[in-house]
Structures are given as structure tokens and as C-alpha cells.
Structure 1
Amino acid sequence: MKSLTYILAVIFTLNFAFAVDYSNNETLKRETTVVSHDVFFDTDVAEVSNEEFSKLVTFIKATETIDIERITIVGYCDDRGSTTYNKALSNKRAKTIRDIIANYRNGLDKPEVVTVNGKGEVALSTSESALFNELRSLNRRVTIIVAPKKFIAGSFYGEDLRKGDVINLKNLNFKKGLRYLTPESTESLKELADYLVRRTDIFFTINGHVCCTINGKDSRDRETGNVNLSVVRAKFVRDYLVKAGVDANRVKYQGLAGQYNLGEGDSKDRRVELEVRYISK
């Protein structure tokens, strides 16, 4: 009885998780986090039922205003059939969903779509055939994961930041000859701080840059007279982040002077970048 109660609880939880109605979900259109949807299939088929098709189209339309970076489509099967057969069937299911999405999103060259073959396994064993069949039905599905583009201070970054990634913080603009940001950069700096306070796994360096110097040298700070403008610009941003709640042990800073100009004009070179040193586990 105990195991039966546990299984019923699992089924209830799974059904609740999958019973998302997108028909009136206006917030999804403004979503900035990863969203997903499951399409369920009948036994041994790769065609979508009318009911599941309608739910899928509603989901696709709800994502129309999301600036998508990537769509991942993963196909699953239940435990019946050989491994080879189930791999082929799960792939057919995933391709079916890909074709439907492509039709409603006018092609999928952009964003990149990753189709992953998979085989769903029923994790629980029970003599109750009705419950067992219910668990199997939950594994006959394709999961669609939509990852939107993300921006930090005006610059795109991937959902999965990695060691060595460098993000040019385009909306952090400095006053000429000074370490201070322009007033319009305030909101972007706060956005950056909020993100880094949440992402406690990112250890990073703030790189400072300057424009308009000969042989890549540093510029003079008009306020102090010291020739270390790229350094104090990086430190200014670092100090703000720490004050906002980012652990100081995660943040380093350095000045790279005028060694790495972008060739896009002086104002573009008065910048800082976020360089990922590593991501903690």
C-alpha cells in the first residue's frame, strides 16, 4: 500500500507539471527565462494527435515575441521495443515536432535547433497495470525547450557561460578622461549587479579599456592625473558590484590600457568587459 501511495503521488506530480495551459498565458510572451512544453504521443506512433497539435500550436504562438537563441527538441519512448527501434521512433517524434515548429516559425535556420534522440525509461515497477500504463504514457513524449537570448548591460550572453568567455558590456559608457560612468549607464550597471548577485557560481574579472593612446598605452585620469585610467575604470565597476552584494572573492579587475581597441570609434573603446575565469560546480 505504501508503494502504491508513492506511485500515485508521483503520477499526480507529473500530471500537474505537464498540465500547463498556455491559451491565456500572456506572461510567456515577456519571458526571459527558459520555457518548455511536452507533446505526448500514442503508443508506437510518431504522428501528433489533434489535441496535442492544438496545444503545441498555442505554445509556439506564445513564444513568437521571445528573442530565441536556441530551441532544443528531445524525443522519448516508453520501455517497450528494442533499443534500436526506440531510438528510431524517438527520432521520428522529435523530427515531427521540429517540422511543425518550422512551419509556424517560418523556418529554423535561426535560431539553431538541436534535435536529441532519446529513450524514456519507466523508473518504477508495479503490478498495477493501470498505473504502469500511466507511467508509460508519460514517457511517450517530445520535450521542447526554448532558450531566449540574454543580455547583460546591452550585450548578448549565452545561457551556458563558460570559462574564457568575454562579454563586452556595451551599455556601460564612461565619461571622457574619467573613471565615472555616464548617467544613462546607471540602470545597466544595476542590471549587471543583480545578475551577478544571483549567479554565485561565476568567478570573473572586470577588464578596463581606454581609447586614443599611442602604442596601446594607458590614459591619464583627469581627476587624479595618474596614467591608470583603464585600471580605475575596472575598479569603479568592481567596487560597485561588491557594494551591491557580489562576493569580493569572485571579482578581480585589471586595466588593459589601449591594447585592444575595437576599431568602432573612440566611445566604443572607453569600455569594460566581463571575462569569466571559471564556473564553480
Structure 2
Amino acid sequence: MGNEDLNKTLSDQRAKTVSSYLQKRIGKNIKLSSSIGLGISKQINDNSSEILQAKNRRVDIFIEKTLLAGEKISRKIYPSFLDSNIEIMKVKDTFSLPDVNFIGAKHVWLPNGNTNLFKLYKVLKLNPTFEIELQGHICCDYENFDGEDEDLGTFNLSWTRANAMKEYLLKQGIDSKRIKVVGLGHLNPLVYPEITEADRVKNRRVEIVLLKK
């Protein structure tokens, strides 16, 4: 809202306020490198409601671990939601959705994900008390909390990926009240740093948290 100069000044002030707060409290092993205001250039939604406007009034914080030369971090993949035993699944457990990965900078999944997305729908249909949270992830863009969705022009790519899956499930007849959507940006990469295209594909994913059984 307002003109670009005003928004740039305001965003600078917000970033400096958070920076000043943290500077007084962080330990010596953490270096606070810089703060910058980006004005309206990194909106995560379209400002179409007061709630969405409020979400754009934010400060993103980027934490980077210094890696040794050639060091690569690989995180353990969660059990598959599709192959786990229903009887032993626990509320708040996190699961993977194998082979459902996305085209870079888009909320469109690769064609080989169709089979497992349909299987996800079947699991939800056969277990009508299940409620889930879809957690979207991105690769590569560590200059922003979240990536830019090229089709929508918003910086909430991890959310739009999870929401695309929700929309698919709704079209199949699953009640929207059973599905929550969140975007986690680049916070939890399976592989870091992404050196190959295979690394990048692995990180473009959606994971599932069981909220109610």
C-alpha cells in the first residue's frame, strides 16, 4: 500500500528494529551480518484482504551455517505416508510423499507424481477421520525465505505447491476442512547445498503431517 519510497523506508525501519533487538541478545558464535528493507518487492501474496496484507508486513531472517569445503548435508527422509501401517501411524508424525516433486519455480508437479497423488486421495477417502497438514518446500533460493512462483508472481512458492495438492484433493471430493496448508520455504532441505539437478528435485517437495486420526 502507498508509494514505493514510503514502503522502502518503512521496510528498512522494520528490518533495523529486528536487527537491533537481536544484536542485544545473540551469542558470540552468531554473526549478525546485515539488514535491508525490500519495500513491496517480495510480497508473499496479493494484498487482497487485511489478513493477507498483515502477512506481507514482516521481516524474514536468514540463518546460514558455515560449511567445510565439499561438505554436504543430507537429511533422513521421513517414512512414506502411502506405505505406513495405518494402525501405528501417530498424530503429529511427519511423512514423505515419494515421487511427488515439482518443476522449478512453479507449483506444478512432475508427471510421475500423478500415481502417488491418486494413492494419497485413496488413503484419505478410506480413512475419513484423517486430517492432514501439507508442508511445501523449495530448493535453491536462499536469498529469500520462500521462492517466487513464476506463474503467480508471489514469493510463496512452497505454499502454492502445497495448496496445488490441496486443490487436487478437493477436486477428488476430499473435504477442505481435513487439509491444512503451510509453506516452509527453504527451511528444511533434504540435501544442502544443491549441487546437481537431482538434489534440487529432491528438495521441491511436499511433506505430510497427520493432524487427526
TM-score range, shorter chain: 0.5 to 0.7
Contact 1:207 1:255 in 2 (8 A): yes
What is the match of residue 165 of structure 1?
93
Deviations 1:133-165 (A, max 9, x none): xxxxxxxxxxxxxxxxx9545xx4233211111
Contact 2:80 2:97 in 1 (8 A): no
Question: How do residues 26-175 of structure 1 correspond to structure 2 at under 5 angstroms?
Answer: 152=81, 156-159=83-86, 160-175=88-103
What is the match of residue 269 of structure 1?
203
- Extract unaligned runs of 5+ from structure 1: 1-149
Find the residue that maps to 1:192 and give its secondary structure.
Answer: helix
Assess, with a 3 A threshold, how the Cα gap between structure 1 residues 152 and 276 changes in structure 2: closer, same or farther: closer
Q: Measure the CA separation in 2 of the matches of 1:165 and 1:183.
A: 27
**TM-score after normalising by structure 2:** 0.56
- Extract unaligned runs of 5+ from structure 2: 1-78, 193-198
Contact 1:216 1:259 in 2 (8 A): no
What is the match of residue 194 of structure 1?
122
Contact 2:131 2:211 in 1 (8 A): yes
What is the match of residue 206 of structure 1?
134
Counting matched residue pairs gives 128
What is the match of residue 102 of structure 1?
none
Deviations 1:185-229 (A, max 9, x none): 111111111111111121111100001121671001111221110
Between Structure 1 and Structure 2, whose CA radius of gyration is higher? 1
CA-based RMSD of the aligned residues comes to 1.8
Assess, with a 3 A threshold, how the Cα gap between structure 1 residues 250 and 209 changes in structure 2: closer, same or farther: same
Percent identity over the alignment is 27
Please, which of 160, 172, 180 is the counterpart of residue 244 of structure 1?
172
**Which letter maps to 2:85?**
G
Please, which of 156, 181, 190 is the counterpart of residue 228 of structure 1?
156
Higher helix share: 1
Higher strand share: 1
Deviations 1:79-108 (A, max 9, x none): xxxxxxxxxxxxxxxxxxxxxxxxxxxxxx
Contact 1:178 1:229 in 2 (8 A): yes
Assess, with a 3 A threshold, how the Cα gap between structure 1 residues 215 and 224 changes in structure 2: closer, same or farther: closer
Q: What is the CA-CA distance between 1:249 and the residue it aligns to?
A: 1.0
